[in-house]
Every structure is written in C-alpha cells, then in structure tokens.
Structure 1
Amino acid sequence: MNVNFSFVTPYFFFVFIVGFLFGEKAFAVEVVDIRIAQQEGETRLVFELDKSTEHRLFSLSNPDRVVLDVTGSTFSSASQEALKKLPSGVLQRVRFAQRDSGVRFVLDLAKKVKSKSSTLSASGKFGPRILVELEYGADKAKEVSVPKNLAAISNSKRDVVVVIDAGHGGKDPGAIGKYKVREKDIVLSIAKELAKDLASIEGFKPVLTRSSDVYLPLRQRSQVARSSNADLLISIHADAFTKSSARGASVWALSLSGKTSEMGRWLAEQEKSAELVGGISLDDKDQLLAEVLLDMSMNSTIQFSLDIGTSVLSKMDNVVKLHKNTVQQAGFVVLKSPDIPSILIETGFVSNATEAKNLGSYAYRKKLAAAIAKGVESSFLKNPPDGTLLAWKQNRSRSKVYVVSKGDTLSEIAKKNSVSVSRLRSVNSLKDDVIWIGQKLRIPSS
C-alpha cells in the first residue's frame, strides 16, 4: 500500500517524539534486585534500584500483608527469580504486579508486623536502595520459656567501659607549643586524670590505650577499644595553628562522609567482615546487605557520639573557652569504629600563649578532666547501655512497690503485673516463692 506522507506536519512528529519520551520516562526506574537479611524479631528487605525514585509503604489486614509501591518503575525480569528465595519466617511470600504508576510488591505475612521504610543513597558500586523493615518480636511461645534469660538481663550489672586514648606519644610528640609544651605529655596527663575520675564513679570502667610515653598506630587505638568491648572511645588531643590568636577547646565526632569511606574500607577487607556490628555478624551476608547493616549501625553510632559530645561540651564550657559551641564532625581515623561511639576532644591550642600556660598547669588539666567525666556520666545516665549497672539502677528506680495481702501468691502477683516469677524473685532477692502478708515487693517495669 502506498502512503502519502506529504500531509504529516512537524507538529505530528513533535507529539510523537514527546509521547515516546514521556512513555519511556514513565518507567525509567528499574528494580534490579531484592535481598533479605534476618535477625531475631526482625526481617529487612533491600530493593536495589538503578535510579532514585519515590515509594509508598502501607499495611493491610485479613490476611496480613505489607504493600510497597515503587513509583515509575519496572521489575527486572532477570531478578524475578530472587522472589522464590525471599520467603522466610514471618515473610511467607512476595508477589508483584506492574501497574500504570510503577511496580507494586505485596509481602504476605504469617502475622502482624510493624513496618517502616527508608531510602538509602547510592554508595560505591551500589545504586539507590529502598529498605523495608518488618519488626515482629519474639513468638509468644518463646516468651514463655525465656524468664531465665529475662532474669539474667535484669541482673546484669556490668560497668560502662570507656576507653581513653591519649593522642600521639613516643616518637610522635604531636604539636609543640609555647613554653615548649608537648601535646603528647599534656593529653596523657589529662587522660590519666579522666581515668581516675571515671573509676571513682560507680558503674564506670576506664581503660587507657597508653599509660606511658609510647607510640600506637591509629588503628591499634581503635582495636584496644574493640577488644575491651568499649561503650565509648574518647581520643584526647591539643591543637596548634599558624596564628597564635587561635584558641578554644572543641569536641568532634565522625562525619557522614567519613562514615561512607570507612564503610567501604571495612567491607573491602575480608577479615573485617567477620566482626560483629551491633551484634550482627557480617560474614554470612553478601556485600549489599553487609553494607546496609553496617550503614545502619554507623548511623546509630554517630548519633550517639553526637549526643555524648554535646553533653561533654556543655560541661567543658564551665571550665574552658570553647572554640566551637557545637560538636563538629570530620573523618578522623581514630573515630572510625562502626560499632563504638567515639569522640575526639581538642583541649585547646598550644600555639596560643594563654592556653599553652593553662594546659601546662596540672590543676587546670585536672579541672578539665573532671568536666569531661561529668559530661560522660551525665550522658550515660540518660541513656545507659543494656546490661549495665546504670541500666539496672534505672529499671530499679522505675519499679513500683506492691504490698502483699492475704491470699496473694508470688505467681499471681507476677501475672497481675506482667512480669515473670523468676524476674520477680531476682529483683527482690527471694530464694523461693515464700512471701508473707505485709511484705513489700519491688515490681520491675515490664
């Protein structure tokens, strides 16, 4: 058939091309892979994309399921085989359907869960990702059989471990300032005083990375913290600047850019992937999931570091002049422990005559160390780590008192207050279930 194209206008081609382009853009994003990671009480799904896009997450019931809509996307046919490998535990099945607005994923569940989602930015060889978290806690059957563990947690009274790192040392004197004061000597003195102060506070255990004039590589300082199961690493330094007018103390935490580069280093080193990050082993995870778990751990670590740094800074403000009145962030190597909150304290500028004189004074260093200790104590009292004496005391203080009346039994009191009998026994130091009328029992928070 002969077709006469003489009547086809440029406008026709414009509409055709625009329509074609917009048709392509409608599904310009591809879901290229889906991965799963699990730990007790939680399942995480990572939806890997080739480009950023918006998404929506919501729950439905009867039956229980979670729905994820990925806007303007398609699902890679090569990755659809991954759906068969995903179901596990609470996640029974993953279905998908291509819609006009994009791809809809339906997560069929064995029971109700708490669901939330977040977007992870592109990093290294991975593109942007959508992280879906399903939290469902332990099964009721398991909860009934765990009272012994609950009692152990309730009774755990370990110390908060604070590793104190005096910067430089040995062949490395650090900054040398006015009156020939050396950074390595100043910070070691402050570190020792800080250790004394923390040791005098019930519930704290200080550990020094160095207690004498020796040199330690930066990574080895972090390793001391890890091998000590540290809850906090404090690195102490003194600054110097070309202008003698520069002065003031500051507190630093790891920056987000520092976090990204460090995450790559951890995952690039095979032996590091076997270490625990927030209690999650990375050695059995593929690199994408390992990165997601590490990213979440480091985000939490950095936030806790910022909180502690703010508390320390507020106490230091009563003793020293501050260079910055907020916690600063940078990629210091000594701060780059993914699972250990870490802060670096610049105690002042030894290049400034006034501060060099102050830092050369034992009385001043002692005062500064006391302020840092108060800041650390204050922060951990507000947010004590699980299993510590501080956490135990906090739970104890929140306990209510129950006065035993006629007809009461320990099991009934436990049931009435939603706690286990063994935990009730443990909190009240009872050897058996014998109680008497008028006896006062502490009821721990459930």
Structure 2
Amino acid sequence: MLNALVRLLAPVMLFWLGSAVAGVSISSTRIWPAQDYTRLTLESKQAIRHNMFTISNPDRLVVDLEDVDINETLNQLAGKIATDDPYIKSLRIGRFKPGIVRLVFDLKAEIKPQLFDLKPVGEYEYRLVLDVYPAHPLDPMMALLESATSAPQPAGPVAGETRIDTAQSAPGITVPDNVPEMRARTLIIAIDAGHGGEDPGAHGRRGTHEKDVTLSIARKVKALVDETPNMRGVLIRDGDYFIPLVGRVSKARKANADLFVSIHADAFIKPNARGSSVFALSEHGATSTAARWLAKKENEADLIGGVNLDIKDPYLARTLLDLSQTATINDSMKLAKYVLGELSNINDLHRGHVEQAGFAVLKSPDIPSILVETAFISNPDEEIRLNDSAYQDKLARAVLGGIKRYFSQNPALSKPKLAQTD
C-alpha cells in the first residue's frame, strides 16, 4: 500500500521540487546604445529581484539578479554589446553564488546608472531596465555651438541683420515680400522624432514602424533647417532609443529652442483613414473626440517606452513654475496653421483645421510647440509613401515652409540663454 502511494505521489513531488528550484527564465534581451545613454532590457514572465553597485579603478558596474536561470537568451546578451557603445566596453555573465547571477559591465567612462522594474504593458512582459547615463552629460547648448562652428555656414545676409528666406516654401503658398528684419541671432528649431527604442509607435501592415519613419523625416527637416541662413536644427532623438515625453521638453528648453516640432505618423483601426494633421496644446480639453483619443495614445508612450518614475528632472521642475501658457499656445496655433497649409500642397488633410488636445510633449511654457501627424501609417497607400525618400523630402520641405512663414509674420525676439544650475 505504501509503495503504491509513493508511486502515485512521486510525479507530483518531482514537479513540485522542480518548480521550487527553477529560476526566472529570461525570455528576451535588448540593448539600445545612444550618445545620450545606453539602455539594456531584460524581459521575463516574472519580476526579477536585483541589486546594483559600481566599482572604480577600473570602472565597472555590477548587477546581481536573484533566482534567475542562465539560459541561452541571457548568455547572448554579452554579444549584443557594440564596440562603439559610448559607455559599455564589455559584459561578463556568471553564477556568483547559489541563487545569484552576476552581470559585470566593464565601462569606458564614469557613469550614473539607473536600474528599475516595469510591469507588463502592451506586448511586453515584466521588464528589468538598466539605463547607463554619463556622469558628466554634454550640455545641449554647447553641443549645438560646437556643431555650428564645425559645420559649413550657408551664405546669408550681412552681419548685423537677419532675414529668413521664404522663397523656397512649398508651391501654392504666397509669402509676403515685406518680411520683417531681425537682429542677427541663430534661431534654434528643436525637431522631435516621435517614439523610439522600446516604444516603436504605430506600425503599418507592411511592418513599417513609426519610430523609424519619424526619425528619417526629422533628420531631413534638420538638414533643411541647417541649410537655411541663421537657423540651426536640434534633433531631440538622433537614433533608435527612448526618451520620456517630459525629457523631450526638457532637452528642447536646455537647447534654448525657439520652436519645437514633434514628427509622428498616425494610425487608426480602419485602414482607409488618411491624411495629414497638425496639433497644438490645449489648456481646456480636446477640440474633438479623435484629438482626445490621439493625445491619450501618444501620452501612453512613456508606459511602452519605459520611464523610471523614481527619477524626476530637476531642470524641468524649475522651468515649469509658470503654468500660464496662453501666449505660447497662441503662437503654437499660428505655427500649426502655417505648417498645415504647407502640408495641404502635398497630401490630403485629415481635418482642414488645427486640432488641440493635452499632448504631454507639447507642454513647454515658453516654446511654441506643435505635433505633426505626417500621414496614416495604418493606411497601406500612405505607408508606402511614408517609406519613400522623395516623399519624406516633400514632408520635410513642407515643415520648413511652415516654420519660415511663421517667422515671416512673427519675428523672433532676443532670447537669452536660460539660467541653469546644478
């Protein structure tokens, strides 16, 4: 009788013992190197308990993972470290002691790491995210000045006066001849490629990711802006990596930007939705149900991309003290109308007027800011056009045309560099 009972319970006991000793299995690993920071992601079906510390001479970062299996997926992570990664030289993975897997990162420079958990969202399971920031980040304004001095300067007006050339705006738009003159000053245009890294944005039926299209268009806009006398473009994102929405606003303000243009590609459940749209911030609710839905979708990008909620941006906290944005929103509406007018020459408009909603990425108190939905990536025809370099050029020229028209009617005033403290 006893032997029969043992035979009956043996499979259950073996299963229970196996479950008790089995560790968390890593299902996916990703690494996103960038000049701003390098992000490393471990994905699993369960949350991972962890610990982190740094060692100097030489600089190393140690991450201990509790009750994690060393499987092939985890072992392959070391091979994903690129030789040109700005901060990580190499990675070693091994069993430190029973129950602890240790990751040792050999570093190229002193860093300020952040390690945090993300709960399942969208298509992602639990994520353990390591962000490797430089200990001494490059000041955006200094980077801009360095690029301005190293890049060849386009021919422009004589020193002392600045005139924005509007002759190259898109066909069908008449620009006044009496363009106001301004004191010589380089106008800074912040160009934000939507989404990036862990956050792919919308996707088309052919597999096109919004984050790739927006970056390509943003780079083209920057190139055109840089060719324009007395203008300089700043890319908020210049690679496939994630930047939180509030971080995008902060980067634009640190660069002392005069305008902020966020580039996106729209999507809808019905593939026949089509056309371009331009949005500005609203203080009093969305102008339509569709605008409210789009703002909600775009604002959820931080959940997908992965934001460390324990870290606050002290710079942005200092600069958002003035919550009165009425004047900035009015200027944003003017800019949006000009850009929408230029887009109407190359594509259908989804709506013939500028819409407003509570987009988090547009909430700068002193920089006119717009969000451009270039086309519907969910529309098969528009997805093809969004992947076409020549059409991307047209979109970039339309955005620049709108910017030029804005400055032709709204001369930029003197804008001292914002005070920054440590």
Please state which band the TM-score falls in when normalised by the shorter chain: 0.3 to 0.5
From the two aligned structures, give the one with the greater helix fraction.
1
TM-score between the two structures when normalised by the length of structure 2: 0.47
Q: Which has the larger radius of gyration?
A: 1
